[in-house]
């Protein structure tokens, strides 16, 4: 079937690619003064933000302080967090929470009619505000309802961005972003969107791995589009593996929240023995990279398919109150967490690196912003501190909104329609599914929790072969959502491996058997694309 074209170009003040917390928050902050479009690959709630369980970190208690939150973030980040960014985010945290409360987010209350705060790994205080154990969903449902009700926001569901449109691509002398092309996955129509500002907020690249807690939408789209447009990336080697993904054949990507360990959950071997104190004095409350490596070590040492997280010593009422969704989901699968431990394995969870941005969310390409997991702000360093991710989304959505609204309106350029005159229908779509499966398997085997130079080089060789095949496919056949996602995943995988090979030490989430020591100086891994030019 031939893909039809549009014969018109849609025009907006701001185009937001992605519908997670970062993108939706930014849309609301702009919409009173601008005409905004949101592109989302599936429905408005099909993203990683809605899957977030634990909560949002912020200094909200009188016995806590900015300095302690900053220190905890730096410790988790293994010396690689940017000091200015970390302070900026922590000091703007309470304002972000107040904004969410004003929007109507139903955070869990405590007995004193304040808000209940929980504690997670790496935090020195209880500072995680949450909505039971489904914070992301509660936040996204509240914000998305306001987005859908706003007359200045157009939501394009079931659209996947193909690429952003820059002046260079149009043969202009400027280095500006002028909008994007997008594929309507229901009609196969390719639309052209002209915008004064474009924001990449597509989330991370967790689906590059065989096992992940991420939704199917996490295919590194924004990172790949930004790189192709001429943006630098940083610290892509730091992929956070969540220590506790539910291990069950019918529980695809179901996360067992960090808060379970925060509320006393104990990690055990099948014989019931505890192992975390042997790996770190903080035991189950150590940062995620430490816990994930410990689980990986024990599984390989004992030949295990999983380990067990035991919270059964807590009263049933406590578990049903604090972890209602985890309790119910496990019970559906025949696991009563009030009586037995939960089988868990590590899984790829969060992309700490991304497109290099400043404190306004601006990339190297003018009028192109990146926020949320797509961006590298410098907050997470070599390992993200639990519950700092949704916080970063909120703070940088506000920062980007202020920057966009403070500037004179940019130019709306007349854009050419997508040209499909030189392509045909594909006759072997099986190539895409096979390449997808191969990529995710060798990334898991060679670029996982523990790495070696030889494994990384093996992955790089396979990535180069896949890259050639996919580019040929892309240049000769009509685009599909599967092809676009695979194209972006292979590029994201390449960036991860390039950064990993460039780091000759072990730090945070990047552990190399060939370079087990941590260097005295912490330096970010920054990659520069061939078409890079300064603003």
Q: What is the pLDDT at residue 309?
A: 98
Residues of the chain with pLDDT under 70: 1-8, 47-53, 113, 427-428, 535
So where are the chain's domains?
5-238+352-406, 243-348, 430-527
Helix (H) or strand (E) holding 194: strand 190-200
Domain 430-527 is found in CATH 1.10.287.110:
no
Catalytic residue among 119, 288, 440, 455: 288
H-helix segments, 104-186: 135-149
What confidence tens digit (pLDDT) does each residue in 247-306 have? 988 877 788 988 899 899 999 999 999 999 999 999 999 888 889 889 988 988 898 989
Residue keyed to tokens 């970010």 = 524
State the fold for domain 5-238+352-406: FAD/NAD(P)-binding domain (3.50.50)
**Taking phi first (over 0 means left), then psi (-120 to 50 degrees means alpha), and beta for anything else, what does residue 86 get?**
alpha
State the fold for domain 243-348: Flavocytochrome C3; Chain A, domain 1 (3.90.700)
Is the overall model pTM greater than 0.85, yes or no?
yes
Give the Å distances, CA to CA, from 320 to 116, 254, 331, 460: 15, 18, 11, 46
Q: What is the pLDDT at residue 2?
A: 35
Task: Note whether 243-348 and 430-527 share their fold.
Answer: no
Q: What is the pLDDT at residue 3?
A: 39
What confidence tens digit (pLDDT) does each residue in 344-376 have? 999 999 999 999 999 999 999 999 999 999 999
Enter the tokens of residue 39: 């592109």
The answer to whether residue 487 is catalytic is no
Q: What is the pLDDT at residue 210?
A: 84
* Distance between start and end Cα atoms, the chain: 42
């Amino acid at each position: 079937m031939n893909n039809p074209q549009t014969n018109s170009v849609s025009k907006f003040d701001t185009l937001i690619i992605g519908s997670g917390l970062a993108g939706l928050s930014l849309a609301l902050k702009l919409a009173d003064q601008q005409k905004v479009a949101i592109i989302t690959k599936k429905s408005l709630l099909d993203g990683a933000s809605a899957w977030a369980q634990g909560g949002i970190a912020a200094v909200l208690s009188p016995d806590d302080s900015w300095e302690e939150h900053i220190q905890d973030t730096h410790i988790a980040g293994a010396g690689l967090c940017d000091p200015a960014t970390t302070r900026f985010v922590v000091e703007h945290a309470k304002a972000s929470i107040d904004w969410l409360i004003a929007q109507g987010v139903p955070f869990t209350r405590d007995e004193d009619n304040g808000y209940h705060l929980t504690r997670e790994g790496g935090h020195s205080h209880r500072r995680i505000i949450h909505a039971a154990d489904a914070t992301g969903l509660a936040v996204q449902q509240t914000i998305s309802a306001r987005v859908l009700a706003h007359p200045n926001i157009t939501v394009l569901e079931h659209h996947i961005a193909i690429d952003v449109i820059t002046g260079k691509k149009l043969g202009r002398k400027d280095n500006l972003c002028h909008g994007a092309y997008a594929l309507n996955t229901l009609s196969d129509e390719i639309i052209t969107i002209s915008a004064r500002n474009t924001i990449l907020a597509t989330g991370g690249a967790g689906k590059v791995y065989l096992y992940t807690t991420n939704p199917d939408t996490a295919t590194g789209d924004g990172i790949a589009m930004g790189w192709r447009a001429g943006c630098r990336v940083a610290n892509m080697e730091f992929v956070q593996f969540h220590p506790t993904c539910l291990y069950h054949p019918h529980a695809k990507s179901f996360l067992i929240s960090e808060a379970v360990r925060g509320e006393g959950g104990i990690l055990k071997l099948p014989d019931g023995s505890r192992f975390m104190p042997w790996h770190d004095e903080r035991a189950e409350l150590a940062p995620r990279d430490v816990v994930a490596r410990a689980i990986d070590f024990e599984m390989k040492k004992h030949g295990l398919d999983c380990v067990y997280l035991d919270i059964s010593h807590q009263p049933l009422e406590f578990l049903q109150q604090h972890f209602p969704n985890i309790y119910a989901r496990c019970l559906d699968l025949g696991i009563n967490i009030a009586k037995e431990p939960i089988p868990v394995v590590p899984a790829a969870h969060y992309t700490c690196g991304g497109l290099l941005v400043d404190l306004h969310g601006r990339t190297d390409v003018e009028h192109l912003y990146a926020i949320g997991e797509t961006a590298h702000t410098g907050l997470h360093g070599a390992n993200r501190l639990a519950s700092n991710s949704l916080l970063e989304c909120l703070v940088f959505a506000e920062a980007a909104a202020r920057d966009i609204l403070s500037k004179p309106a940019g130019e709306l350029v007349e854009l050419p329609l997508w040209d499909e005159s030189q392509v045909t229908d594909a006759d072997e779509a099986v190539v895409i599914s096979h390449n997808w499966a191969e990529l995710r398997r060798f990334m898991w085997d060679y670029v996982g929790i523990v790495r070696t130079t030889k494994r990384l080089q093996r992955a790089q060789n396979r990535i180069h072969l896949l890259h050639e095949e996919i580019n040929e496919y892309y240049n000769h056949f009509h685009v599909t959502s599967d092809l676009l996602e695979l194209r972006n995943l292979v590029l994201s995988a390449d960036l991860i491996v390039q950064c990993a090979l460039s780091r000759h030490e072990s730090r945070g989430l990047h552990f190399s058997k060939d370079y087990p020591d941590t260097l005295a100086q912490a330096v970010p891994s920054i990659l520069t694309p061939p078409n890079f030019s300064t603003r």
